Chains A and B, each alone.
Chain A
Amino acid sequence: MPTKAKDKAEQAITMGIFKHLVDLAAFELPPEEEEYLRKELNEQLRAIRELEAIEVSEDIPITSHGVPYSVAIMPSLREDIIEICPEADDILDQAPEVEERYIVVPDIPSEALE
């Protein structure tokens, strides 16, 4: 990779972009993690930039998973029948806070629409 491209990649994830990503990911990060994470993100991006040099025309279809997902091997859809979940209480037992079978959360932030 030419030096210019390398520099571009190194600076690609600025502190501003990083803060935005952290917000999107919903993380409260300790400061000591921020430096490591941003450095590694930019390192990984340099590896990813290898892809830019590959000729990929629109004619090349995308592969969303490797093995062709043909009708022949696709399982048939389940019949649309209501089944009672036998483990409903076990699942609710895993919730950190429950009140009368309702999961409890703090206030949901909202903005008044103008």
Chain B
Amino acid sequence: MTEHLCDLPAYEQVRRIKDGEISAVELLKSTFERIDAVEGRQATTEPYTPSPTDLEKVHAFITVTRERAHAQAESIDQKVAAGEDPGPLAGVPLAVKDIFCVKDTPSTAGSKILENFISPYSATPVKHLEEDGAVVVGKVNLDEFTFGSSNESSAFLPPVGNPWDPAYVPGGSSGGSTAAVAAGEATISLGTDTAGSIRQPAAFCGVVGMKPTYGRVSRYGLIAFASSLDCPGPVARNITDTALMMNAIAGPDSRDATAANTPVPDYSKGLMEGVKGLRIGLSPEYFKLKYPDPETGELIEQPISPEIESAVLAAAQTFAEMGAEIIEDVSMPNTHHGIPVYFVISRVEAASNLHRYDGVKYGYRFPDEEENLRELYKETRGRGFGIQPKLRILMGMYVSAEQYEKGHYERALRVRTLIRDDFERAFDPSGSYKLDCLLTATTPTTAFKLGAVYGDSVLMQYADLLTVPANHAGVPGLSIPAGFGENGLPIGIQFIGPDFSEATLLRAGRSYEMATEADAWRARQPKVIETL
């Protein structure tokens, strides 16, 4: 099999560049060749007519920043030639979810309302990744303003396809990130996770995705959705590269008052220390789904997909064999409240954050002459926003309106406390469980087909059932690949730990990688690249 530089792990790309075996420009060339081979037609906001070939391509990018990337790669090569340290991510191709501002690039949020917005500055985590030597190859697609779990709500179409089978969704909202990384169109990507938007698509695309603790990574320059839940985080093909990204992006920021002022460990250290003595919990609430029946509204229970349940239990067995203590029957009784609470909190915050788009300061403006400012707002927002942002704004308006839903928002914030309490009990060092982390499925099923769920906003939201509790609680979560379903699509398993325990989660993930290194499933390649 021919080796493509773009398929190497980031740590190996960096080693070869630093040792002078390859140049950053050569690596970039390999990455652009991959993009040209698998990407398909350019996504646009023009009226979309699907064609059969769209179902064979990835369509991960909204913007490919060829010239900007080339200049960055040349600068890395110059540093190497001059004997300077080019950084721990020297030359590594990075795709940035198009919800982050990156200086001098279109920063669209996947929305027509920001289609022509060129950011005058870069988000803090992007800046840190670039300072460490990463090369931004482009901005990747997402659900509009991150509102979705499948990438189908973007204004930029064709929708992103899952590299393992492009007729299936990549997940969302960071689906462009996970698809690009799985297909070798980038080695790493920066995503965001508000209800599972890094972990769910990571599971669907067979890559690693981490939602750090709320406040671990600055949100400055992230186009806001739900400010109390949004977390920037890494997407990579392995744990070692994920740790390199965390080293770059974690830390306080004078421009984000919620970025925690706590010491940042070296996430690369300790990855090989194993899991001996680690207390890993299994919770029955994470093996079943509880949701309202679409017809009757009654709460019904359904087990997660049996093949995903088997993957979680097999992983637990693997950890036990490596010396971890598996604690069963950990009670997390408020797990199923995660989605209803999210329906309230995230919508209220979204409605507030999205009021800034008005056709006045930046972004799309309705071009016709309007009688007054109010009419300009209405025409601009009515035409600039897609259907999902409109839905979220309207729901936010409703549940926060005193005259309609007295006390709903406050009630949701109290139930959020109960969700947080579940985790505090599980991780309490003097409690009955004393867990270092929970081990769960990331998603109830593997990826679904394009068009299968989109439009049903309630069913789509329940795709985040197993990931959203960590967002409410603020605790970190990590999704890693753990095999494939019968349909040939990836399965992800999730670790959730106490505040600022990212290093422990990465250690557990690395141990699992090492234990399963020789498994046959690890040799599989996504459909879009297996014939290249």
Contact = CB atoms under 8 A, between A and B. Distances in A.
Interface of A: 1, 3, 5-6, 9, 12-13, 17-18, 21-22, 24-30, 33, 36-37, 40-41, 43-52, 54, 56, 60-69, 72-76, 78, 87, 90-91, 93-97, 103, 105-109
Contacts of A46: 292, 297, 458
10 contacts: A44-B343, A48-B344, A65-B474, A66-B472, A73-B215, A73-B262, A75-B259, A96-B365, A106-B372, A108-B372
Give the 10 A-B CB pairs with smallest separation, nearest first.
Answer: A66-B474, A90-B120, A28-B382, A1-B297, A96-B365, A67-B474, A62-B413, A94-B362, A6-B297, A65-B228
B313 interface: no
B252 interface: yes
Given A37-B394, A67-B474, A50 B292 contact: yes
B254 interface: yes
B260 A40 contact: no
Contacts of A109: 372-374
Contacts of B359: 96
B413 A66 contact: no
Given A44-B343, A54-B337, A94-B361, 12 more contacts: A5-B297, A12-B404, A40-B458, A47-B343, A47-B458, A50-B340, A51-B344, A62-B417, A64-B413, A65-B229, A76-B261, A107-B371
A20 B409 CA distance: 19
A56 to B, nearest CB: 4
A67 B121 contact: no
A72 to B, nearest CB: 8
Interface string B64-88: 0000000000000000000000000
B426 to A, nearest CB: 14
B123 interface: no
B448 interface: no
B257 interface: yes
Contacts of B372: 106-109
Interface stretch (B10-18, B275-283, B395-403): B395-403
Contacts of A67: 213-215, 260, 474-475, 499
A61 B424 CA distance: 15
Contacts of A17: 398, 404
Given A26-B381, A50-B292, A54-B418, A74 B398 contact: no
A90 B213 CA distance: 33
B296 A108 contact: no
Contacts of B399: 48
A87 to B, nearest CB: 4
Interface in B356-380: 358-365, 369-379
Interface stretch (B158-166, B170-178, B385-393, B484-492): B385-393
A75 B343 contact: no
A105 B360 CA distance: 7
A64, A74, A87, A106: most-surrounded residue (chain B CB, <10 A)? A106
B364, B398, B413, B455: most-surrounded residue (chain A CB, <10 A)? B398
A3, A22, A36, A56: most-surrounded residue (chain B CB, <10 A)? A56
B474 A1 contact: no
B420 A63 contact: yes
Contacts of A9: 297
Contact of B391 (A37, A54, A62, A76): A37
A48 B343 contact: yes
Q: What size tier do the contact residues of chain B reach?
A: 35 or more
Interface of B: 117-118, 120-121, 213-215, 228-229, 252-254, 257-262, 291-292, 294, 296-299, 337, 339-341, 343-344, 351, 358-365, 369-379, 381-383, 385, 387, 390-391, 393-395, 397-399, 401, 404, 408, 410-418, 420, 455-458, 461, 471-475, 499
Contacts of A12: 404
B365 A97 contact: yes
B214 A91 contact: no
Given A51-B337, A87-B121, A33 B457 contact: no
A21 B378 contact: no
Nearest to B293: A1
Contact of A75 (B252, B458, B471, B475): B252
A27 B413 contact: no
A1 B298 contact: yes
A25 B417 contact: no
Contacts of B475: 66-67
Nearest to A53: B299
Contacts of B296: 1, 3, 6
Contact of A41 (B363, B373, B391, B420): B391
A108 B377 CA distance: 11
Nearest to A23: B378
B341 A51 contact: yes
Contacts of A106: 369-373, 375-376
A104 B47 CA distance: 30
Given A5-B297, A44-B343, A63 B252 contact: no
Contacts of A54: 337, 411, 415, 418
A21 B397 contact: yes
A26 B361 CA distance: 16
B514 to A, nearest CB: 31
Contacts of B261: 73-76
A51 B340 contact: yes
B120 A21 contact: no
Contacts of A74: 257, 260-261
B378 A75 contact: no
Contact of A87 (B120, B376, B417): B120
A75 B257 CA distance: 6
Nearest to B360: A105
Contact of A95 (B360, B383, B471): B360
A64 B344 CA distance: 12
Contacts of B298: 1
